[in-house]
Amino acid sequence: MIYEPGSAKCRVLIAVKHNLEDSIKALNSFDDMSHIERQLRDIHKDLECMHELQRFNQNSI
């Protein structure tokens, strides 16, 4: 993911997405974690949507 400067909310969302990506990578060392990985990926998608909305709202000001 590319880092982009923006509002404080965007920076928080970017940081949380990075943390989730790190968590998903860390879970790869365990067996049978696919259900948790799916949940984390779904949360990541939700955060990505929130980030896009935040960027859209910021650019429309």
pTM of the model: 0.81
* Predicted pLDDT of residue 7: 84
User: Rounded CA gap, 17 and 14, in Å?
Assistant: 5
Burial of residue 51 (CB within 10 Å: 0-12, 13-18, 19+) is buried
| Average pLDDT of the residues in 2-25 | 86
* Predicted pLDDT of residue 4: 53
CB 32 within 8 A of CB 49: no
User: Is residue 53 predicted with pLDDT exceeding 70?
Assistant: yes
* Predicted pLDDT of residue 1: 45
Confidence label for 2 from pLDDT (cuts 50, 70 and 90): low
